[in-house]
Amino acid sequence: MSERLEPGDTAPAFTLPDADGNEVSLAARKGRKVIVYFYPAALTPGCTKQACDFTDNLELLAGAGYDVIGISPDKPEKLARFREQESLKVTLLADPDKQVLQAYGAFGEKTMYGKKVVGVIRSTVVVDEEGKVERALYNVRATGHVAKIIKDLGI
């Protein structure tokens, strides 16, 4: 079971491939605020809803100084299909080894349909310009989550 992050923690560094196989790192975003969200699987209903919500609100979030990065255990090829099929504009990163998911506390035991399973915990971590955790939200819902973040951040 991975440790959950708390506000004030240093956000774990990462460099992962995007949907095109290009390396993307959190360090390259220093000086910007970053919303890093973790989702179980591309091309599934809940994850599609969430990615589309982030895409629909990307201009608003970017205007407020936020970059948005979605991370799942999918391979880059599947992320590319997801991006094309849903016309997504958010940066999608592949973490098939689940190392970043674990570092952020977004992989572990969860309850699904009344059963305990081990998997990706739908989570969102807001990282400030200095690389510190501003907010860490776990077991979030796919629907309505982006609107809640926007409201909570006062955007």
CB 124 within 8 A of CB 23: no
Nearest CA among 118, 78, 109, 108 for reference residue 94: 78
Instruction: Identify the H or E element spanning 48.
Output: helix 45-56
State pTM to two decimals. Answer: 0.94
CB 22 within 8 A of CB 28: no
Q: Which residues pair with 123 in a beta bridge?
A: 38, 138
For residue 52, indicate whether it is catalytic. no
Q: Name the stretches of the chain with pLDDT < 50.
A: 1
| Whole-number pLDDT of residue 2 | 60
Question: Which is the catalytic residue, given 19, 26, 47, 101?
Answer: 47
Residue that is written with structure tokens 């982006």 in the block: 146
| Whole-number pLDDT of residue 46 | 87
**CA distances to 11, 86, 125, 136, 155 from 64, in Å:** 20, 24, 16, 19, 7
